[in-house]
Structure 1
Amino acid sequence: MAAEQPIPVYTDLSDLYGSLGTSLNHAEKWNSIAEEFQRRFGRKPAYIARAPGRVNLIGEHIDYCLFGVLPAAIERDILIAIGRRPNPNAEDAPGSVVAENVQTKYTRQVFAPAPRRRASVSEEEVRLEEWHLDINTKQLRWESYVKAGYYGVLINYFAGGQNPASVDLLVTGTVPAGSGLSSSAAMVVASTLAFLAVNEKLEANFTGNGPKISKGQLVEMAVANEKRVGVNSGGMDQAASVISVPSSALYISFFPELSASAVPLPTGAIFIIANSLVVSDKAVTAKHNYNLRVVETLAAARILARHLELKVEKTEKVTLREVVGRLAGEVEEVGAMPVEWLLETLKRMEREIECLKPKKSSGEGQFGVTMEEMIEMSGMTAEEFKEVYLSWVEVEATQFQLYKRAKHVFSEASRVLQFRQICLAAESSPSPSDVIKDLGKLMNESQTSCDELFQCSCPELNELTNIAKDAGAIGSRLTGAGWGGCTVSLVAEGDVDAFIKKVSATYGPYKGLQDTALSEVIFATKPSSGACVYKFE
């Protein structure tokens, strides 16, 4: 399985470039960061870690509900050049980091982890140390993502008095921040990889012992690491950045365990990404956007389980996917239920969610419930509910839209499965154009659901998807968390240039942009390979 494969470590750049795609000049970018590292730090780096951004073709906000999604890595990426400091100053703390960024708006940062022994430990943990790195989740800075990746390496590989290496690092990237292309996950994955590599923890043959770290293990580390900057990610972004393969989307399933399989995309159409230029920082707005949606879906799952008389432990954060499995009699030890079975159960769930509506609607189409109503529906006491669902995350709302969120999740999960089935059957289809139309229809339905049910779109994204369809897109939808960021549009291969020209002439924020500036905000991309490391010999 793809998740069980080791992280690629290259020593030949020609092999590395061949895996990344062809629409960007990758050689120029990699050479540039190596030369800039040498200019700033007086030596060449030991490694360059690479993590791509991703475009989610379909399956928004359902990964943390444990339903499968269909992203693809893009060619645009984050690169981190890193090397051990050959002569650390005597006053430097062990494991100190000098972090610089090619972009001049990001200033040089110097930090070091502080070992912190636990106040009380079990006998088995007597030698275990915790590490502290100051990560401000209220005012997020670029180095917070670097620190998050570093922290995961510290707690997993530096217990019992070991010290990490003191290092210098340099970051560059072509994934625009807040665009919905998962720049934050790419930063965390790349920093995790960089610190693993420079501390000789990535490969067995670096130290001569120990197993290689698998792609699945890196995904799990990166998910945990990103939570340290205040985002409760479901794992799609990290999995796409790490596990993707060229020329295919990636069907990522999270239940009963993480698994990933390539889904070849049909020929005859291209995916085009367009940036709305509305910046969406999901960590900063999490309490009333992203994290609130996580809590709403979890609460909906418990209430549904109670309605269906399914067993849920008192402190369990049961997900909507687990509710579906328990209702269908799925046995986790055997593996996930067949796709046809899952689709049938999802249809049933779209009827069962009526129990999530308030007893008294406040108006037509108004399905929100108050905190008090939500707690009563859950069958828990206020103290129990707040401990399980609110003690670990900050949210802000007066109305909780449990019905709308669950309806989106179940319908979107069905669309992902249908999209995958259409792609897998495309080679034997007598009409490729019908295949592409079917995919476009699912993308359009997804955008409507994201806007009306999950309410994660925004006026600019709605405008941009409408402009895209008027310009000839077969399907167009937001991609990423939403509330800004990018759209992804399915466009016939022969219409790409005309499409980009029409969109750039119609969407107000694009007017006046030309050449490089325009290519930064609207571009076609080919599915790229996942994260990797280049080791300098």
Structure 2
Amino acid sequence: MSQTTTTPPRERAVQGFARAFGVQPQQLSRAPARVNLIGEHTDYNEGYAMPCAIDRDTVVAAAPRDDDVVEVLACDLDGASARFRVDDASDVAGSPQWVRYVQGMVAVLRERGLPVRGAQLAIAGNVPQGAGLSSSASLELAVGQALASLNGWQLAPRAMALAGQRAENAYAGCQCGVLDQMSSALGVAGHALLLDCRSLDVQPIPLPANTAVLVIDSKIQRGLVDSEYNLRRQQCEAAAAGLGVKALRDVDDDLWSRRGGTLDLVVRRRARHIITDSRRCELMADAMRQGDLPAIGRLMRESHWSMRDDFEITVPAIDALAALVQGVIGDAGGARMTGGGFGGCVIALAPVGQVDEIRAAVAAGYRSPQGREAEVHVCAASHGAGSLA
């Protein structure tokens, strides 16, 4: 859920809660969006990724009920609301998509044996929907934190992330990996995360000094459930099966040289993107630790080309936007598409002193296919999900 108003999500959630339920909320929770610096679609292939939680949040204002009914208000969707019983949370048939994320979290947490009572929830956020910043994971984690606080239990960040992933897989219909939820749960201010998507080990990697994180919304929306995201996952699974490995994470140079050529041409290209982008994540971590901006830029450009040519998840307007921004940055950083694909945002790492020049170049040189101007967000790396005082 997103909102274009400048009123912070916290205020909108509290105000919406008071209007809808006639009382003040007892608890506030928030969870950040994320942007992926490099390593796209590698998570469900058990490889590496490098996300960064950002200072764009979903906030949930909450209070308990004395029964088993959950009432939910979507402050950013013209006050849309929903009601369901806790016991019926798993029945998402006929529910609007946004409600399915809430129902899914309730259902999954109960599957984990955690008590969930009725609640009143008001949700507000400033995460652009359909822009590839994972508004859904932000919503899942914020709801999970609210339910934990209301019901008097805690869940470790990794466990909450896995609950969010299952909610999205089983109840919202998108077979995403765990990258988005792990980013939202475990973000570290001032750092990206080198995420091992098999072990779920996380290494915070400091962002280079005096480097801005720019998230440039192309205004080309895409929905993961309705896109070819799930098809890409199936193609990756087919590649792993054809190579005789558990996941594409396990493919080394020797195996690829011996058996890569036996794969169907399209499946082979999909696999090549995953294998190379996962390796680029580890190289990116080294470059960031060393403050090697030219290397960072080269790796981000190669990642974009791989998504364009091998994984085929970019669109021409996104390619043009990334190239435009890269042209301004030169060797001082990089730009690439970020997110599941078929629209969304370009991520750029650039010297702070170039921000105004990049804004001007984007304003002058880019329009979406519908004629819309891109929106440039200068973001900060944020801490992970939790309660608000």
Q: Same fold (TM over 0.5)?
A: yes
Give the distance between the partners of 2:182 and 2:270, measured in 1 at CA.
23
Q: Runs of 5+ in structure 1 lacking a partner?
A: 1-24, 89-93, 115-130, 203-212, 306-311, 313-317, 325-344, 359-366, 368-400, 427-434
Aligned to 1:19: none
1:276 to 218, 221, 244: 218
Using a 3 Å threshold, how does the CA distance of structure 1 residues 483 and 28 change in structure 2: closer, same or farther? closer
SS in 2 for 1:296: helix
| 1:320 maps onto 2:248 in alignment | yes
Using a 3 Å threshold, how does the CA distance of structure 1 residues 482 and 28 change in structure 2: closer, same or farther? closer
SS in 1 for 2:112: helix
The within-5 A match list for 1:161-180 is 164-180=116-132
Give the distance between the partners of 2:184 and 2:337, measured in 1 at CA.
19
Aligned to 2:136: 184
2:105 to 139, 142, 149: 149
| 1:232 maps onto 2:169 in alignment | no
Percent of aligned pairs sharing the same letter = 27
Give the distance between the partners of 1:50 and 1:62, measured in 2 at CA.
26
TM-score under structure 2 length normalisation: 0.91
Aligned to 2:316: 459
Give the distance between the partners of 1:242 and 1:263, measured in 2 at CA.
16
Aligned to 2:296: 439
CA deviation after TM superposition for structure 1 residue 470, in Å: 2.9
Give the distance between the partners of 1:404 and 1:512, measured in 2 at CA.
32
| Number of aligned residue pairs | 381
Q: Does the CA contact (< 8 Å) of 1:247 and 1:528 recur in 2?
A: yes
Which segment drifts farther, 167-176 or 266-275?
Answer: 266-275
* Partner deviation per Cα, 1:423-462 (whole Å, 9 max, x = no partner): 2233xxxxxxxx1111011000000000100011112211
Aligned to 2:279: 414
SS in 1 for 2:209: coil
Q: Does the CA contact (< 8 Å) of 1:80 and 1:194 recur in 2?
A: yes
Aligned to 1:133: 90
Give the distance between the partners of 2:10 and 2:295, measured in 1 at CA.
39
CA deviation after TM superposition for structure 1 residue 490, in Å: 2.1
| 1:534 maps onto 2:388 in alignment | yes
The within-5 A match list for 1:202-221 is 202=154, 213-221=155-163
CA deviation after TM superposition for structure 1 residue 28, in Å: 4.9
| 1:36 maps onto 2:16 in alignment | yes
Aligned to 1:354: 260
CA deviation after TM superposition for structure 1 residue 104, in Å: 4.1
SS in 2 for 1:231: coil
Using a 3 Å threshold, how does the CA distance of structure 1 residues 348 and 419 change in structure 2: closer, same or farther? farther
Aligned residue identity for 2:91: D
CA deviation after TM superposition for structure 1 residue 186, in Å: 0.9
SS in 2 for 1:71: strand
CA deviation after TM superposition for structure 1 residue 534, in Å: 2.5
Aligned residue identity for 1:416: C
Which segment drifts farther, 349-358 or 143-152?
Answer: 349-358
Q: Does the CA contact (< 8 Å) of 1:149 and 1:188 recur in 2?
A: yes
SS in 1 for 2:120: strand
Give the distance between the partners of 2:387 and 2:57, measured in 1 at CA.
13
| 1:69 maps onto 2:11 in alignment | no
Aligned to 2:288: 423
Larger radius of gyration: 1
Aligned residue identity for 1:239: M
Q: Does the CA contact (< 8 Å) of 2:89 and 2:104 recur in 1?
A: no
Q: Does the CA contact (< 8 Å) of 2:9 and 2:125 recur in 1?
A: no
Give the distance between the partners of 2:51 and 2:255, measured in 1 at CA.
25
Aligned residue identity for 1:56: N
Q: Please provide the CA RMSD for this pair.
A: 2.3
Using a 3 Å threshold, how does the CA distance of structure 1 residues 67 and 82 change in structure 2: closer, same or farther? same
CA deviation after TM superposition for structure 1 residue 103, in Å: 1.7
Give the distance between the partners of 2:372 and 2:61, measured in 1 at CA.
35
Task: Indicate the structure with greater strand content.
Answer: 2
1:112 to 68, 79, 85: 85
Give the distance between the partners of 1:449 and 1:82, measured in 2 at CA.
43
| 1:295 maps onto 2:234 in alignment | yes
CA deviation after TM superposition for structure 1 residue 512, in Å: 7.8
Give the distance between the partners of 2:100 and 2:58, measured in 1 at CA.
15
Give the distance between the partners of 2:38 and 2:335, measured in 1 at CA.
10
Q: Runs of 5+ in structure 2 lacking a partner?
A: none
CA deviation after TM superposition for structure 1 residue 132, in Å: 4.7
CA deviation after TM superposition for structure 1 residue 291, in Å: 1.1
Q: Does the CA contact (< 8 Å) of 1:408 and 1:454 recur in 2?
A: yes
Give the distance between the partners of 1:226 and 1:348, measured in 2 at CA.
36
SS in 1 for 2:224: coil
CA deviation after TM superposition for structure 1 residue 355, in Å: 3.1
| 1:304 maps onto 2:243 in alignment | yes
CA deviation after TM superposition for structure 1 residue 504, in Å: 1.5
Give the distance between the partners of 1:43 and 1:135, measured in 2 at CA.
29
CA deviation after TM superposition for structure 1 residue 39, in Å: 3.1
| 1:81 maps onto 2:61 in alignment | yes
CA deviation after TM superposition for structure 1 residue 505, in Å: 1.8
CA deviation after TM superposition for structure 1 residue 40, in Å: 2.5
CA deviation after TM superposition for structure 1 residue 145, in Å: 1.2
TM-score under structure 1 length normalisation: 0.67
Give the distance between the partners of 1:415 and 1:512, measured in 2 at CA.
33
Using a 3 Å threshold, how does the CA distance of structure 1 residues 512 and 259 change in structure 2: closer, same or farther? closer
* Partner deviation per Cα, 1:205-264 (whole Å, 9 max, x = no partner): xxxxxxxx2111111111111112111121010000000100010011122x21111001
Using a 3 Å threshold, how does the CA distance of structure 1 residues 422 and 279 change in structure 2: closer, same or farther? same
CA deviation after TM superposition for structure 1 residue 38, in Å: 2.2
The within-5 A match list for 1:348-427 is 348-358=254-264, 367=265, 401-426=266-291
SS in 2 for 1:460: helix
